[in-house]
A = this chain, B = another copy of it.
Amino acid sequence: MSRKRDDDSNTNCAVEASLGVIGGRWKGVVLYWLLKGTHRFGELRKRLPNCSQRMLTLQLRELEEDGLVKRTVYAQVPPRVEYELTAFGRSLEPVLIGLRDWGEKYKRRLQRTG
């Protein structure tokens, strides 16, 4: 995964930079769930039934690389891996809440408009 969109360095606009980081297909939802607390990999999978295991792994790796998510591996069998937001990741909270609230409006609008 080359992340063409993210590593595009000429993001003249900061909005573009943000969306490059959180705009991935599942990243917003993952971050939103992590806002509620630490999750194991399998727990996240249940939260995102439409996201394949492969994609979830990839998205988590990118979020980790961007410093939003911390990954902790417990050396035990069977393996246990936990994901949580970093402080920088938590700084996204107001934005995520804003996205969620606007999303609600949009969905209500869709129902009216058809």
A residues neighboring B (CB under 8 Å): 5, 8, 10-11, 13-19, 21-23, 25-26, 28-29, 31-32, 50, 66-67, 88, 91-92, 94-96, 98-107, 109, 113
Contacts and interface: CB of A to CB of B under 8 A. Distances in A.
Nearest to A8: B50
Contacts of A95: 95, 98-99, 102
A103 B105 CA distance: 24
B15 A28 contact: yes
B16 A28 contact: yes
B32 A28 contact: no
A66 B105 CA distance: 12
A111 to B, nearest CB: 12
